[in-house]
Chains A and B, each alone.
Chain A
């Protein structure tokens, strides 16, 4: 039976959730409002939820400055889509064998996966490896490969799901019916594992979209491969660096960088796609996490 909306439990829990939601939503509202505040008002009065004067100047600036920001946006989208697909593909391919109980040497392979969660080579060796051996510097691969292409954590989550949420009997039944391993993977594991794959895909997509370290380390010459986060990071860093200096020449250089309003506008544009896409994946989210990882 459905509980009444005004029962004490419902009121309390809804109340808490409403407050929680407001706390989460308000910063985004403030971000948006400051991006449409007139620059002078913004500096003089600070950020406010209802600015004295509105202006779309910041967005006009983004459109005018055209190529750089729009292109960076394109790079972000391309990298996120490609990266997520590759990530999920690799992670599932890795997780499936690890989920089969009779695989020889499974524990050793698990150890190798697990080991990377605890230890890594550090920045400089990784940098040397990526730039001097694999030559990904200043290419699109720089945004795709380092750090993000496969995550041990995601492999473990997917493996646990494959192992625990898909009944053992199903695998046996498929084998008895004569399905090859590849057939089982393609026609059974992938469709049944959709919740976890989508969930992990969202994680991967988010980290691709939000990543700025790859661009920072591996893109120095070919700035056309900058994504939105790199652009934003560069602007903010430059402003901070230049305005801190007591050197008069540097202070003058600081004035040439787009202002607070523009940064807010770029930040807003940068989170917009994520905010729009997220609700659609939510239903998988609960399923994937609640039924997969935690229970396992």
Chain B
């Protein structure tokens, strides 16, 4: 009996292996791609609408040329004809929602992690789990790793693949170089031009207090620190696993392995952070209109009366910062070395998924797979046509063709950090990066400790009302709290009002549900552990937090 079962299994295994083998070989030789929904060939390709946000202005003609060039490659290879649909950066989420409910032609779309719940709720997004066993799905897993590939999952729906980027958020201050030189910071803290790679050197925020005091004394007309009410600097000062929305978090700083969902705004960690800012504000270190200001860091730095601002820092950060700030800058890591961890929120920030408007999800999936695995596709979409829009330099990086630069280019998306896998495309040489840059970014990720809840995404579909109420409570109090504008005297009472408003909005419901889902997830998957490689790396250079 046993023998027969074994024989049967072996036969089955062999047949399926043969089937798989022949399927692959057919796909490779054949002139047609067959899916459940249709049959496509080079003569009748699948017409696919690819929506993506465009952050930099492109020339329409150039975009059309690139689209043609992409199709020249796509049609014979994949039997897909791509139509670009660039959306405005600010309104792409609303646009997509309208287009999905309106039934417009739409296939591959960007998914912002906070939007996933509503897209799934309105049945607007295709669950990609069924396609993961295909060669295309396996190829994505090979690129991203098993854990990252499945991170964009909610309530059993795989809504998107995360963009390949640096996911660790270590950060600190970006400061004006000339003032640092003048006041001796450069020498004292060993600051270097373009020195933005993390080497384990991280300073306590009390050091920043001393620096601000020195700046204030030497240049009374200057604002030592620019903050902006609408852009929360919280992640620079304290780190939580935000569990997607900050309502109910894991208090990372208090206990690294904690699996208890707590209210972020009642923790000592949070209170300490806002109190520090309030002290700075009272001392005149923070821009006095910070709570309501909307000008942004680049404008303030350009104006020349701001010394520093808080930012996430990664290799290559300073070159970008200098370009937008119009002055030379130094970066310094502040906070605690354990900050900046790997959490579901960080990794799944920007995802690429399929809208349910698609006429053939399988073909759409093939295109997504191409974005993650085929350098030709990624290079064409991101950088344009080689020799027309960009050239490959001797060191293997890419740059604009002669005569073009950042001010007059016709095509250069520069959004590989948002959709697709930029690690397979050329490194863009903006002055500081070499061909090894993608490795450097990936190395940056190995600084991270993993949140025990990494991989867990809570299903928030039934809590949209509570989330909206909590969000509005937060946006009412946060700008004043997180810019220090309430003053030390006002911290306690403002925190109290914030928490009252949050609980009135249903925070407790959210936290209870989150905890229940998290417990179930842990019971099934076990807590995520930081890979040994990361622990070794952290241990090898950790000096503790420097206080001078």
Which A residues fall within an 8 A CB radius of B?
39-40, 43-44, 123-124, 127-128, 131-132, 137, 216-217, 220-221, 223-224, 234, 237-256, 259-260
**B55 A242 Cβ-Cβ under 8 A:** yes
Q: Which 7 A-B pairs have the closest CB atoms?
A: A255-B324, A243-B296, A237-B90, A43-B303, A241-B90, A253-B55, A44-B303
Contact, CB under 8 Å: A254 / B324: yes
Q: Closest A-chain residue to B165, C-beta based?
A: A249
B304 within 8 A of A: yes
Give the number of residues in B that approach A within 8 Å (Cβ atoms). Answer: 50
- Decide yes or no whether B305 CB sits under 8 A from chain A: yes
Q: Which residues of B contact A260 (CB under 8 A)?
A: 295, 299
In the bound complex, how far is the Cα of B460 from the Cα of A276, in angstroms? 53
Q: Nearest Cβ distance between residue B173 and chain A, in whole angstroms?
A: 13
Q: Across the interface, do A220 and B87 meet the contact criterion of CB distance under 8 Å?
A: yes
Partner of A247, one of B87, B99, B300, B349: B349
A240 touching B230, Cβ below 8 Å: yes
Shortest Cβ distance from B314 into A: residue = A248
B299 contacts A43, CB within 8 Å?
Answer: yes
- Contact: B295 with A256, CB < 8 Å? no
- Choose among A221, A223, A238, A248 the residue that contacts B311 (Cβ–Cβ < 8 A): A248
14 further contact pairs, Cβ within 8 A, besides A43-B300, A242-B55: A39-B302, A123-B98, A127-B102, A132-B102, A132-B103, A220-B95, A238-B90, A240-B90, A243-B297, A248-B312, A248-B320, A248-B321, A249-B417, A255-B325
In Å, the complex CA distance between A132 and B98 comes to 12
- Secondary structure of the A contact surface, majority rule: helix
* Minimum CB distance partner of A124 in chain B: B101
How distant is the Cα of A220 from the Cα of B102 in the complex, in angstroms? Answer: 13
A217 to B320, CA, bound (A): 33
Chain B proximity of A61: nearest CB distance (Å): 12
Contact pick for B298, options A217, A244, A246, A255, CB 8 Å: A255
Q: Are B303 and A252 in contact (CB under 8 A)?
A: no
The answer, among B102, B169, B235, B302, for a CB contact under 8 Å with A128, is B102
Given the interface contacts A123-B98, A132-B102, does A239 sit within 8 Å of B296 by beta carbon?
yes
- Known A-B contacts A132-B103, A245-B231, A251-B324; the reply to A256 vs B297 at CB < 8 A is no
B102 touches A246 (CB 8 A): no
Q: Given the complex, which residues of B lie within 8 Å of A223, measured CB to CB?
A: 60
Are A248 and B313 closer than 8 Å at their CB atoms?
Answer: yes
- Chain A residues contacting B101 (CB-CB under 8 Å) are 124, 127-128
Least Cβ–Cβ distance between B401 and chain A, in angstroms: 19
B311 adjacent to A220 (CB under 8 Å): no
Task: Kindly identify which residue among A237, A243, A248, A252 contacts B91, using a CB–CB cutoff of 8 Å.
Answer: A237
- Nearest-neighbour CB distance to chain B for A257, whole angstroms, equals 9
Mask of B291-334 contacts with A, CB within 8 angstroms, 1/0: 00011111110111100000111100100110111000000000
Give the docked Cα–Cα distance between A216 and B298 (Å): 27
A43-B295, A244-B231, A252-B324 known; A237 vs B98 contact (CB < 8 Å): no
Q: Which residues of B contact A39 (CB under 8 A)?
A: 302
Q: How far is the CB of B290 from chain A (nearest CB, A)?
A: 13
Supply 6 A–B pairs (Cβ within 8 Å), ascending by A. A131-B102, A220-B85, A239-B296, A243-B228, A243-B294, A251-B324
Note all chain A residues with C-beta closer than 8 A to B232: 246
Q: Which of B110-141 contact A (CB under 8 A)?
A: none
In contact, B85 and A221 (Cβ under 8 angstroms): yes
Query: Which residues does chain B contribute within 8 Å of A40, judged by CB atoms?
Result: 302-304
Q: Does B89 contact A (CB under 8 A)?
A: yes
Task: Write the nearest CB–CB distance from B300 to chain A, whole angstroms.
Answer: 7
* B88 interface contact, C-beta 8 A: yes
By a CB distance below 8 angstroms, the chain A residues around B91 are: 216, 234, 237
Q: Does B185 contact A (CB under 8 A)?
A: no
Please indicate the chain A residues that have their CB under 8 angstroms from the CB of B417 in the complex: 247, 249
Q: Closest Cβ of chain A: how far from B97's Cβ, in Å?
A: 9
How far is it, in angstroms, between the C-alpha of A243 and the C-alpha of B104 when the chains are bound? 30
Report yes or no: B320 in contact with A246, Cβ–Cβ below 8 A.
Answer: no
The digit string for B269-304, where 1 denotes a CB below 8 A from any CB of A, is 000000000000000000000000011111110111
A244 to B482 Cα, complex, angstroms: 13
A223 to B417 Cα, complex, angstroms: 25
Q: B231 contacts which chain A residues (CB < 8 A)?
A: 243-246
CB contacts (< 8 Å) of B312 on chain A: these are 246-248
Residues of B359-396 at the interface with A, using a CB-CB cut-off of 8 Å, are none
Contacts of B324 in A (CB 8 A): 251-252, 254-255
Cβ contacts under 8 Å, B230 to chain A: 240, 243-244
Give chain A nearest CB distance to B11 CB in angstroms: 51
User: By the criterion CB–CB under 8 Å, are B294 and A127 in contact?
Assistant: no
**How far is it, in angstroms, between the C-alpha of A197 and the C-alpha of B538 when the chains are bound?**
76
Cα of A223 to Cα of B57 in the assembled complex, Å = 12
Contacts of A238 in B (CB 8 A): 55, 88-90
B55, B57, B101, B321 — which one has the most chain A CB atoms within 10 A of its CB?
Answer: B55
| Chain B residues whose CB sits within 8 angstroms of the CB of A243 once the complex forms | 228, 230-231, 294-298
The answer, yes or no, to whether B463 is at the interface (CB within 8 Å) is no
CB-based nearest B residue for A252: B320
What is the chain B residue whose CB lies nearest that of A130? B102
Chain A residues, CB < 8 A from B95:
220
The answer to the question of B189 belonging to the interface, with a C-beta cut-off of 8 Å to chain A, is no
Q: Which of A221, A254, A255 has its CB near the most chain B CB atoms (within 10 A)?
A: A255
Least CB separation from B93: chain A residue: A241
- Cβ contacts under 8 Å, B295 to chain A: 43, 243, 260
Contacts of B99 in A (CB 8 A): 220
| Across-interface contacts of A217 in B (CB, < 8 A) | 98
Whether the pair A256, B228 counts as a contact (CB closer than 8 A) is no
* A-contacting residues, B56-94, CB 8 Å: 56-57, 60, 85, 87-91
CB distance from B471 to the nearest CB of A (A): 14
B349 near A240 (CB under 8 angstroms)?
no
Asked whether A124 and B102 contact (CB < 8 A) given A40-B302, A240-B230, A254-B298, the answer is yes
Residue of B nearest to A237 (CB): B90
Residue interface bits B247-270, CB-to-A below 8 A is 1, else 0: 000000000000000000000000
Chain A residue at minimum C-beta to C-beta distance from B407: A256
Contacts of B418 in A (CB 8 A): 249
Residues in chain A near residue B317, CB distance under 8 A: 248
Contacts of B297 in A (CB 8 A): 243, 251
Residues of chain A within 8 A (CB-CB) of B165 are 249
Q: Which of A43, A44, A131, A234 has the most CB of B within 10 A?
A: A43
- A250 CA to B165 CA in the complex, in Å? 13
Residues of chain A within 8 A of B300, CB atoms compared: 43
Q: Given A248-B311, A248-B312, A248-B313, A234 and B90 touching (CB < 8 A)?
A: yes
Please name the residue on chain B nearest to A240 by beta carbon. B294
- Measured in the bound complex, the distance between the Cα atoms of B57 and A221 in whole Å is 14
CA distance A242 to B235 in the complex (A): 17
Chain A's closest residue to B416 (CB) is: A249
A185 to B325, CA, bound (A): 64
In Å, the complex CA distance between A123 and B56 comes to 29
CB distance from A147 to the nearest CB of B (A): 15
Q: Which residues of B contact A253 (CB under 8 A)?
A: 55-56, 89, 414
